[in-house]
Amino acid sequence: MDHTLVKRLRGEVGARLAEQRRLDASGGLPPMSGEDERQFARALIAQVLEDHARNEITAGRVPPNAQEEEELAAAIHAALFGVGRLQPLLDDPQVENIDIN
């Protein structure tokens, strides 16, 4: 997993999410619920990944395949709403202990 790429894409999604919050607030709309915000973020992640794939193709590089794109989406979502790189370990029922140095 390219964590530099995840960080960059998370920044793009975060900026779009913050912009939507500002637009909602300036339009007098109530803030999104936590679940609504997560669902909206999933749509933003899909858009950002599509933009990334398009940019890779335009630059003559191979875009992420479906599995890589799914992993990137999960990593971006975990970086925004979870505990980042630790999230897969916390979600794994086989993991009982996590030692961090």
Residue 74 lies in a domain: yes
Residue 101 lies in a domain: no
Where are the alpha helices (H) located in the chain, listed in sequence order? 3-26, 34-58, 66-81, 87-91
Residue 15 lies in a domain: yes
Residue 16 lies in a domain: yes
| Percent of the residues in the chain that have a pLDDT greater than 90, as a whole number | 78
For residues 33 and 6, what is the distance between their CA atoms, to the nearest angstrom? 25
Residue 100 lies in a domain: no
Residue 8 lies in a domain: yes
Q: Which residue has the higher pLDDT, 101 or 13?
A: 13
Task: Give the N- to C-terminal CA distance of the chain in Å, as an integer.
Answer: 21
| Percent of the residues in the chain that have a pLDDT greater than 70, as a whole number | 100
For residues 58 and 61, what is the distance between their CA atoms, to the nearest angstrom? 7
Residue 96 lies in a domain: no
pLDDT in tens, 12-61: 999 999 999 999 999 999 999 999 999 999 999 999 999 999 999 999 99
Both tokens of residue 60?
């003559």
Residue partners of 90: CB distance under 8 A and separation at least 6: 82, 83, 98
Provide the domain limits for residue 46: 3-91
Phi, psi of 12 (to 5 degrees): -65, -45
- Domain count for the chain: 1
Residue 99 lies in a domain: no
